[in-house]
Structures are given as C-alpha cells and as structure tokens.
Amino acid sequence: MQNNQPTTPRANSASRILLRLVIITTVSLGGVFLAYQLSQSRIEESRQRYLSQQLVQLLPAGRYDDILLSRQQTPDFITYHACTEAGIAFTLLEIATEKAYNGRIELLVAINHQSQSITQIRPLFHQETPGLGDQIDVDKSDWLQQFAGKITTPSTHVALRHKGGRIDAITGATITSHAISHVMQQTIKTLNQHPLPTPDCTKRQGPKYNQQQLTLSDNTH
C-alpha cells in the first residue's frame, strides 16, 4: 500500500527557507565577484594612468608622433617606444629587482638611440624605508642619475664604489643601493649583448602630440 500522505506545512516552509538562502547566497556571491572585478579594473586603469605619466616624465620636452608609446614584451624587458617630431627615437625600459631591502623595486629607464645613452631613470614602484632607501625617489634626491650615461659603458662602471664601480651608495641604504646597482649592471650587459632595435621614426606620420597629450597605445605582443 502506497503512503500518499500530503506534504506538511512545516516541510514546505523549510523548503522555501532553503530556497531563499540559496538565492540570497547566489546573489551575494555574484555581487562580491562583480565588485571585485570592478575594483581590479579600476586598479589596473589607475596603474596604467600612473605608468603613462611616469613614462612621459622620462622624455625630453618636445612633440611626438602619433604612434606614441607602444608597449612590447621582450625576454628581458618590457619596452615602450617613442619618436620625437625631429625623428629622434627613444626606448623606455621597465625593469625590476626583488633584492631591495623591502622587496620589489620597479624602474623605468629612458634610452636615446641617437646618443646610445641612458638619459633618465626613475622608480615606478618601491616600498623602501622613508628617509633612507626612498632617496631613490627623484623628488628627494638625484641619486638615480648616477646611472645615466653611455649604454656601451662597461657594466662594472655602475657597480658600487666599494665593489670597484663608480656609484656612491645611499647612506644607510646599502641593500637598496646594491639591488639597483645589480639590476642596472644586468641591464647594461644585456643591452650590449643584445642591442635593442631602433624604432623606425621615418614611417610615423599623422598628428603631433606634446608631452601632456601622450598616452599609452595598446600594442602588447
């Protein structure tokens, strides 16, 4: 004999409560995921805007062609290229070291292809100690400009003085100084072993832009 007892009101109530909990949980998780995605998108947009501003600061005053700062990934660097209205090509390198006192330091290095020289260098990211390692900030000292010069210079020249080079360490921040010196030595060595191709500025035509109008293009390879 089959038991055809009707479902009790209590069972129906429990099912409705469970369904509501499932719906609420699903909606909540969806909201959290959407908020996370929006937050990540804003963070990335903010980083790209800051990166663009920093890249522009590395370039000399002037006007630049319409293929502004194209981004490329190489085995050794992230590179950006820019051409002046006069046809002078610049490559901007994004390099990094993990050996600083407080971990990672990211640097931007500007190279003038005409003079084969490093013209500017500035930090993109660091967490070094205020009053000591943060002297790498260009608004606090010109310490990083010690690394400016010919990229054909022997890499040992950018070693610290106590290691036979020409770079004065930051007082009280030897680890920071050594980390940057080391990554710059590696960068110069790589540039000498594998020279960067010079951007072809003759093919760049179109409207001109001044520094304030420069932006990053989306040519990631």
* HEC per residue, 107-121: EEEEEECCCCEEEEE
Q: Quick one: CA dihedral 146, 104, 50, 197, positive or negative?
A: positive
Residue 118: phi, psi to the nearest 5? -80, 120
Provide the 10 A C-beta neighbour count for residue 133: 24
Provide the 10 A C-beta neighbour count for residue 141: 12
Q: How is residue 46 written in tokens?
A: 């903010």
Phi-psi region of 206 (alpha: psi -120 to 50; beta: other; left: phi over 0): left
Distance of CA 135 to the CA centre of its chain: 19
How far apart are alpha carbons 192 and 65 in whole angstroms?
Answer: 28
Residue 191 contacts by C-beta under 8 Å, 6 or more apart in sequence? 111, 151
Question: Structural domain boundaries of the chain?
Answer: 55-213
How far apart are alpha carbons 158 and 85 in whole angstroms?
Answer: 32
Provide the 10 A C-beta neighbour count for residue 193: 8
Phi-psi region of 149 (alpha: psi -120 to 50; beta: other; left: phi over 0): left
Helix (H, G, I), strand (E, B), or coil: what is residue 58?
helix
DSSP annotation of 63 reads E
Distance of CA 141 to the CA centre of its chain: 21
pLDDT of the residue at 79: 87
Q: Is the whole model's pTM more than 0.75, yes or no? A: no
Residue 194 contacts by C-beta under 8 Å, 6 or more apart in sequence? 76
Per-residue confidence in pLDDT tens, the chain, 221 aa: 455 555 566 667 777 788 888 888 888 888 787 776 666 667 667 766 777 777 777 877 766 654 455 678 877 888 888 877 777 888 889 999 999 999 999 999 999 888 889 999 999 999 999 999 999 999 999 999 999 988 888 888 899 999 999 999 999 999 999 999 999 999 999 999 888 888 777 765 544 555 555 554 444 43
Residue 103 β-bridge partners: 100
Residue 98: phi, psi to the nearest 5? -105, 5
